Structure 1
Amino acid sequence: MQFDVIFDHNDFLIAYKPVGVSFHSEDSPGFVVMLEAQLNVKLFPVHRLDKVTSGLIVLAKHKAAAAKLTALFESRQIDKFYLALIDAKPKKKQGWVKGDMAKSRRGAFKLLKSNENPAVTRFYSQTIEPGIRAVILKPFSGKTHQLRVALKSLGAPIIGDELYAGSLADRTYLHAYNLQFRWDGISIDCKASPVEGELFKRFLSSEVFNDWQQPTNLEW
């Protein structure tokens, strides 16, 4: 399997992780190991994507860059924007989802009403065809399964996300679309549209996707 490198810098690269590929090695080599072999370079992970999520990953090329990128993530200076598709009407069409998260059953998490160390997500949604809504999300924290839990808590789990009671589909319709940050005074703005999934292909031809191609035009 060959992976696409979307942006290449002396200190880091941004690559596309396909849906269904584990980030870390499990029973077989994971995304990072396979990409290292493909490029013949040592890479240092600074964030991750779930196996069921496709999209952009930034990987450092040396320890100093990894430390700097980690600091940028921790201080919320790297903006991440995700696309998702849902087929149930959410409790609200846009706004914030905030709350602590706790482990639930079968490796899932649930959103709590408390806010001691909350997961924070802002989102917008819009109908793209009868029965299907597109969602653009920006996480303001970095919790495991945060976006999947946020949409589940709104009564509209992501299509294909069986762990969170999403409708059966050919994939989980969650995609890391856009990464934006500054590096040594230079603005990095990297986008990659989803390439897997029939519903995403229909979404990419919609007016909604056209409106969302520059996420910062929305109020976050």
Structure 2
Amino acid sequence: MWAEFRERVLLEDDAILVLDKPVGVSVMGERHESDLVRMAADAGEQLFPVHRIDKVTSGVILFAKDLAAHGGLTRQFNKRTVEKAYLAVTAPGDLPPSGRVELPLSVGRKNRVRIAAPRESIVLTDGTWSVPASAVFDTVPTYPSTTTFTVRDQTPQRALLEAYPHTGRRHQIRVHLAWIGHPIVGDPLFEKSPAGRTFLHSWRLSFDHNGARVTVEAPMPDEFAQATSG
């Protein structure tokens, strides 16, 4: 099984491995047959995830091959010097050409990530969705979160976006887009019994490695362009 995933390697050297993860496979912590770290270990290869993407998300994922490399890479994520770009298909397709979502996050019942303010307090001003400081919950921990996006293509029913999470909160893009009224198509967090995949793809990752800036890109899945073609 791991040999099949190794055919999806985008970049590799002695210290790192970058993979184009297919949808439906976990990075780690899941069942044996759907956990990349465990499958690699079974094949005699030890990998250390530098970051995470959701099981329902496809695309670029970065691993370190040893703990020394892992520490330096994770510090870049902690310092927010890594640039991340995602592709998403949302509904409906009536978004402005670009936008900014400045909505704090919190964790609610059943460990669900949500906006840390009442939905009715969200306002759109000059292309930015935000909430007044007075509306932010003060009874739970809250986390400032920022996502920007540009629209590649859209129809009245669907929009294909490039989304940029400037903060790395869990489920950030998924929750931000859903709470401004444009959930990602097929997202099980907000759609009951979706018929197909979740249309979120880790498209591009830029980080520092061996004294140079490295950018790795996972090609856009064909179904993303097809989603806004008609």
- Compute the TM-score of the two structures, normalised by the length of structure 2: 0.78
User: Aligned to 2:30, which of 20, 26, 31?
Assistant: 26
Tell me how far 1:26 sits from its aligned partner: 2.3
- Report whether the alignment pairs 1:188 with 2:188: no
Q: Which has the higher contact order (CA 8 A, sep 6+)?
A: 2
Tell me how far 1:28 sits from its aligned partner: 2.7
Per the alignment, residue 8 of structure 1 pairs with: 12
Per the alignment, residue 115 of structure 2 pairs with: 111
User: Aligned to 2:99, which of 92, 95, 102?
Assistant: 95
User: Aligned to 1:163, which of 166, 173, 189?
Assistant: 189
Segments of 4+ in structure 1 off by > 6 A?
none
- Report whether the alignment pairs 1:62 with 2:66: yes
Tell me how far 1:98 sits from its aligned partner: 1.6
Larger radius of gyration: 2
Unmatched tracts of structure 1, length 5 or more: 207-220
Question: What is the percentage of aligned positions where both structures have the same residue?
Answer: 35
Tell me how far 1:93 sits from its aligned partner: 4.4
Please say if residues 177 and 191 of structure 1, whose CA atoms lie closer than 8 Å, have aligned partners that are also in contact: yes
Structure 2 CA distance, aligned partners of 1:177 and 1:36? Answer: 26
Per the alignment, residue 82 of structure 1 pairs with: 86
Tell me how far 1:92 sits from its aligned partner: 4.7
Tell me how far 1:99 sits from its aligned partner: 2.4
Deviation digits for residues 15-55 of structure 1 (CA, Å, limit 9, x no counterpart): 111101122232334122223445x3211112111110001
Structure 2 CA distance, aligned partners of 1:72 and 1:145? Answer: 20
User: Aligned to 2:50, which of 35, 38, 46?
Assistant: 46
Unmatched tracts of structure 2, length 5 or more: 117-130
Structure 1 CA distance, aligned partners of 2:52 and 2:75? Answer: 15
Per the alignment, residue 122 of structure 2 pairs with: none
Q: CA RMSD in A?
A: 2.5
